[in-house]
Amino acid sequence: MPTPNFEPVSNPSIVEPECPDSLEINQTLAALKQSQEMNYQMMRLNAWVLSETMDQFIAGFWSRFMANRQIAHKQNSCYSGGSKVSEIAEIVTHYFGDGKKI
């Protein structure tokens, strides 16, 4: 019976061929990522311009906007399993007082 030969076989590195389709897909993905980043930056710019314009017409708009944003964030974290409702009420009274409309 012949003895098995377990000599290591040289394994040349496998080079994946660059097909035109994969290059096109990579270019499309890069363009999509750039477009998404540009869209995100434009949304941030629009929010800033809107708040800056509103702050000129209504004094204190930005601070009230940020207070409302903090309250909304706290409510969202409460619904997702976190804070107590009393913490939200505490934030509301801190920024807006007791039942005071702004």
Q: Are residues 64 and 89 in the same domain?
A: yes
Model pLDDT for residues 54-99, shown as the tens digit of each residue: 888 888 888 888 888 888 888 887 766 655 666 666 766 766 665 5
Domain containing residue 32: 20-57
Q: Are residues 90 and 100 in the same domain?
A: yes
Residue 12 in domain: no
Contacts of 87 (CB under 8 A, 6+ apart): 74, 78
84: left (phi over 0), alpha (psi -120 to 50) or beta: beta
Global pTM exceeds 0.75: no
Model pLDDT for residues 44-55, shown as the tens digit of each residue: 999 889 888 888
CA distance 81 to 75: 10
